[in-house]
Structure 1
């Protein structure tokens, strides 16, 4: 398995990592088998989150006795100092470890949220303290917003950034180059576009061909998926002309109704976070996390059910997506 250095952390991580969100769908014994199989195939980077229900706990059981073989990353949506401090303690217990290699501020989407987490009583201060106490090794940043990605890279506060990147979502590519120049590790989430791309090996090959990407973290919930994904990390051949043609076809096909979460459609007069609606729908339809997605759909407050079809979003979308029809579909699926 090819290894790349994860920016300032200095950690050598497998170019194909293990995305922990779908572990919620398997039992403890299957999770153990999957994590052991991944380790045997050379995968050594695993990513989870406080919001992924039992994922951290399953990883803790699954990697027991093999702590030195894994670079463990997790993340929290906590915004305040106290909430983040509690989440770090909780994660340490779930993983059954005394340190976590990478702890990330999760899904910071707006300037207001950024100011909150970086403020005097914000979550970042709690992570700095945890780092000084040896509870975490490094601090990272995740977002779906390209402007927040740029801000995180330019700030100099983070060792890694995590952002969506795949055949149809490449809005972060130029900033990945900037991150590498600043010695910031780049972790790619949504490598299969949230399950919209069914040609997994091709999708991963496209991503790892980018030298500015450190590791891609496809979600996996079966031994077969682990074997297929790990095989990509051992390939050395560049994409063929036929594969590039296929990639273009996939991008064109998804382009008609696929939200890239660029955020240009906002702000919505009704206060709907439009891109989050499509993200949650993807978890519902393609990740088979129906209850989890519905809970978060309700929790965001304003959702697709509040759309009055004013149409102000559609002229601002650079991909000419039929946003009103897409929100109606979200409402039918998740309401």
Structure 2
């Protein structure tokens, strides 16, 4: 396993980490087995989130006795100082540890980012927790290019997590800037939320980019760990056949896959279009139906509110049939 430095944090981590979303599909005993195998294989970076239901607590139970072998990261959607301080303490309790290596502001909008850094915002709690030794470093996750770009200019941001894969390449220029500014780049959604079926091809594409610090595929079975390690450890140049395969994936998903670039916004009736498609991906491909439905329920304006004006489709750079996709989303969630 190759080890790299996670930007200005100075943390030495494995080039492939562990994404903690899918373990919601298994139990604590199964998670313990995964943690043990990862320790044996040299995977030392684990990512979870307060919002991933049982993920933190399952991981915490699985790390008992081997906590020192891992760099532990999690994240919270809290935007205020009080709420973030509470979440940090809950994460510490869930993980059964007295410190978390990296704590991240989870997917804020531009407006929410202003709240995070403002008076009594979440950043105050993060800085106080860092001073107290509860957390080691502070990062940010995003799906929006605008948020990504703003985060690059904030000196407290030590890492940035953003989607990057064969079909979602909209962040490449900003990912390169991460490297230039010594900000660790954490690649999420390497298989595009499960839409890319060839995991080896997906990981080979990502690891061929030296601007990516660490890739964190979600895994819930030992066989996935072994297959993904094999792909990441293959550092030979991409072959012509692989490049052709990647182009075929782009063409296949190009007509029905949302890259969450949000050029389609604003919707005339206020639908968060990419958000709807994000939660449908969890529903269809991750097998996390209850979690996906709970998250979808928080969206103020649902996919079913679409009036089929078509304005979004005129702005989509990928020519997606957004109106039809919203109909399918509404049918899947029942509203």
Q: Which residue of 2 aligns with 1:123?
A: 122
Q: Please identify, of 304-313 and 3-12, the stretch whose mean Cα deviation from structure 2 is larger.
A: 304-313
What is the rounded CA distance, in whole Å, between the counterparts of 2:305 and 2:82 in structure 1?
33
What is the rounded CA distance, in whole Å, between the counterparts of 1:293 and 1:236 in structure 2?
36
Q: Which residue of 1 aligns with 2:111?
A: 112
Q: Report deviation, 1:28.
A: 0.9
Q: Report deviation, 1:176.
A: 0.9
Cα-Cα RMSD? 0.8
Q: Give the count of matched residue pairs.
A: 334
User: Do the aligned partners of 1:38 and 1:230 also contact (CA within 8 Å) in 2?
Assistant: no
What is the rounded CA distance, in whole Å, between the counterparts of 1:227 and 1:210 in structure 2?
22
What is the rounded CA distance, in whole Å, between the counterparts of 1:270 and 1:88 in structure 2?
36
Q: Which residue of 1 aligns with 2:225?
A: 226
Q: Report deviation, 1:24.
A: 0.6
Matched, 1:56 2:56: yes
Q: Which residue of 2 aligns with 1:157?
A: 156
Q: Report deviation, 1:136.
A: 0.3
- For 1:116-265, what aligned pairs fall within 5 Å after superposition? 116-265=115-264
Structure 2 residue runs of 5 or longer lacking an equivalent are: none
Q: Report deviation, 1:156.
A: 2.1
The residue matched to 2:75 in structure 1 has which SS? strand
Question: Alpha-carbon deviations, 1:238-280, whole Å to 9, x = none?
Answer: 2111111101100111111100000110011211111010000
User: Do the aligned partners of 1:14 and 1:233 also contact (CA within 8 Å) in 2?
Assistant: no
What is the rounded CA distance, in whole Å, between the counterparts of 2:279 and 2:145 in structure 1?
19
What is the rounded CA distance, in whole Å, between the counterparts of 1:235 and 1:100 in structure 2?
31
Structure 1 residue runs of 5 or longer lacking an equivalent are: none
What is the rounded CA distance, in whole Å, between the counterparts of 1:222 and 1:17 in structure 2?
14
Q: Which residue of 2 aligns with 1:332?
A: 331
Q: Please identify, of 231-240 and 323-332, the stretch whose mean Cα deviation from structure 2 is larger.
A: 231-240
Q: Which residue of 2 aligns with 1:9?
A: 9
